Amino acid sequence: MPKGLPHFAAPAALALLACACASAPPPQPAAPPTGAVGVRSIDKRLVAAERMQLAANETFEMPLAEAGNAAPEYPPALLAQRLPPQTVCLSVAIGADGAVSDSRVLAASEGCPTQAPAAPDFVAAARAAVARWRFDPAFRCVYPGAKPIDEQGCVTGREEAVAVSMAYSFVFEQKDGRGTVRVGE
Strands (E), 19-129: 40-41, 58-61, 64-65, 86-94, 100-105
Q: Are 94 and 100 in contact (CB under 8 A)?
A: yes
**Which domains are assigned to the chain?**
35-183 (3.30.2420.10)
What pLDDT shows up at residue 8?
A: 41
Q: What is each CA distance from 136 to 75, 91, 96, in whole angstroms?
A: 29, 18, 9
Residues of the chain where predicted confidence (pLDDT) is lower than 70: 1-50, 182-185
Whose CA is closest to 60, among 131, 1, 115, 139?
139
Please give the pLDDT value at position 68. 87
Q: Within a 13 Å sphere around the CA of 157, how many CA atoms are in the beta-carbon half?
A: 23
Q: What is the structure's pLDDT at 115?
A: 77
The SS3 of residue 15 is helix
Three-class DSSP category at 62: coil
- Check residue 149 and give its pLDDT: 84
Give the model's pLDDT for residue 183. 53
pLDDT given for residue 116 in this prediction:
84
Cβ atoms of 142 and 58 closer than 8 Å? yes
